[in-house]
């Protein structure tokens, strides 16, 4: 369990968010952070928890925000995990094309919506995959996060990478 200090921030509209102090020291593009803050300001049910002393899970939907937030299963898992006292679950989505170019241009690592932590700062990266077409996006997200794609290339300092969702158990051959 990671115990990173956090900083509570308030935007111009009075909306509170939590930023990880370790992440603040990393190169983060202001345009990308502002876009995430805008999305969160329009949401209801966003969960902010102090990550200290808890299991930190990055729940990743390997597609755009609008697609992932349309998934009731994804929302259900987010709520369920955050209902546990010992767990902090934060969401991550594949950036849209314009954002993707900005991530690449600025060499910014992919980060979570809630605390803006990069994926390597989590204990577990949990992919929720509903469509086979999203498999390449799983690889793209891991590369953007600078997490080794192949498990054999990861060590104990890397987050545990797991996958769930319909694609994890659905088999057309049976």
Q: What are the pLDDT digits (tens) for 44-64?
A: 878 887 878 889 999 999 999
The DSSP secondary structure of 118-138, one letter per residue, reads BGGGSSEEEEE---GGGHHHH
Q: Is 101 a residue whose pLDDT tops 80? A: yes
Residue 12: pLDDT band by 50, 70, 90 thresholds? very low
Q: Is 23 a residue whose pLDDT tops 80? A: no
Radius of gyration of the chain (CA): 16
- Say what the pLDDT of residue 47 is: 85
Output the average pLDDT for the chain.
86
165: alpha, beta or left? (left if phi > 0; alpha if psi -120 to 50): left
Q: Are strands 16-20 and 6-10 parallel, antiparallel or unpaired?
A: antiparallel
Q: Is 24 a residue whose pLDDT tops 50? A: no
């Amino acid at each position: 369990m990671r115990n990173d200090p956090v900083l509570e921030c308030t935007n111009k509209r009075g909306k509170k968010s939590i930023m990880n102090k370790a992440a603040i020291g990393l190169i983060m593009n202001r345009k990308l952070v502002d876009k995430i803050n805008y999305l969160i300001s329009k949401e209801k049910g966003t969960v902010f928890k102090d990550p200290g002393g808890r299991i930190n899970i990055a729940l990743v939907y390997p597609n755009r925000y609008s697609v992932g937030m349309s998934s009731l299963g994804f929302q259900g898992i987010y709520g369920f995990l955050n209902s546990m006292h010992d767990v902090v679950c934060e969401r991550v989505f594949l950036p849209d094309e314009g954002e993707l170019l900005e991530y690449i241009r600025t060499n910014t690592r992919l980060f979570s919506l809630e605390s803006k932590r990069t994926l390597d700062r989590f204990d577990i990266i949990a992919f929720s995959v509903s469509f086979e077409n999203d498999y390449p996006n799983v690889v793209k997200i891991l590369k953007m996060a600078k997490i080794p794609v192949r498990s054999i290339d990861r060590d104990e300092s890397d987050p545990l990478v797991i996958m769930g969702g319909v694609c994890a158990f659905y088999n057309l051959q049976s």
